[in-house]
Chain A
Amino acid sequence: MLFKYQKFISAIPNCPPTNYYSATIKAYRFVFGDRNPNNFLPASMINPKRNFPDPSGQCLGYALSLFDSLENAQNRYRDMVKGRPTLRKKLGSHIAEGVIEETDGIISEVNSAGHFSLHEFEGTNLQQKFEIVLEV
């Protein structure tokens, strides 16, 4: 199985990390409400890239951030925007909900803030699987 951004991650050591795994999990993500084409693009596929050029950052730059519950997504959005009001224009204006299935890619462990990362498999189209559930 190839990853969606295989040609970019092939040269990055340990990418995706070996502790990522397949799972079926309900997931939440910040999006713009107008079906913005960037809604489901990782940071390294959006110019200008918001990243740093070391290997760890390069690999994560091809993964999508998700949350494991609507509550965690709302709380983290609130906390991030408190830190930088300008982040609204990067994060989006809505929260979308969908189910990540084992055939969509591999995920990191969910951390204590409810965040996890997804490296998508080739052919995955989350735009079709997620629906907006809340304006933030």
Chain B
Amino acid sequence: MEAIEGIRLENFWLTDLRRVADLIYYDGPILSHFKNNQGDDYLYCWSDADEIYNRWLIFRVSRQSLNKYLTRQLSLRELMLNSADRFLHCIDIDDRFQYHHPCLVFPTNLPAIYLPEPDSYYNFEPIVFDFEAVKEQPLPQLYTQLAA
């Protein structure tokens, strides 16, 4: 996998995230929407793999940005380069779902091959798992249409 130029962390911080939906799916999640207990929105973006780990980039997005992405007004590249925290978490997850090598990465330091193309607009249908989350805090109209 690509070398990551980031700030190494002792532990992965985001331990209270629950999955709301897979936004892009093929044989497994590729881009997934999670929420924390405070209702903040995060995206898990599959980025790479080797024989031991799948590498995910995880970043917070504003509700407005998420809506714009799902309605094709923002690209995934724009979301990633303008994450709400100005950094992304990078984590390698093994076969037993154990998290390894947590670090923070600034978008400008991401390997170029991890950056989506400029026209990476949303053109899929989400698989929504947590309709309760939809009720708690209105989520994109795209989700509620599916829940109807």
Binding site for B on A (CB under 8 A): 30, 42-44, 47-54, 56-57, 60-61, 64-65, 75-76, 79-80, 82-87, 89-91, 111-113, 115
| Contact flags B25-65 to A (C-beta < 8 A → 1, else 0) | 11111111000000000000111110111100000000000
Q: In the bound complex, do residue A48 and residue B125 qualify as a contact, i.e. CB atoms below 8 Å apart? A: no
Contact residues in B for A79 (Cβ distance below 8 Å): 120, 123-124
CA distance A47 to B114 in the complex (A): 21
By beta carbon, the residue of chain A nearest B57 is: A84
By beta carbon, the residue of chain A nearest B31 is: A83
Q: In the bound complex, do residue B28 and residue A48 qualify as a contact, i.e. CB atoms below 8 Å apart? A: no
Choose one: B26, B45, B48, B129; the contact of A65 (CB below 8 Å).
Answer: B26
Choose one: A53, A60, A83; the contact of B28 (CB below 8 Å).
Answer: A60
By beta carbon, the residue of chain A nearest B30 is: A80
Given contacts A82-B120, A84-B30, A85-B113, contact A57 B125 (CB under 8 A): no
CA distance A2 to B49 in the complex (A): 32
Q: In the bound complex, do residue B19 and residue A43 qualify as a contact, i.e. CB atoms below 8 Å apart? A: no
Choose one: B24, B52, B125; the contact of A80 (CB below 8 Å).
Answer: B24
Separation in Å of the B41 CB from the closest CB of chain A?
16
B134 within 8 A of A: no
| Residue among A47, A61, A83, A90 with most chain B CB within 10 A | A83
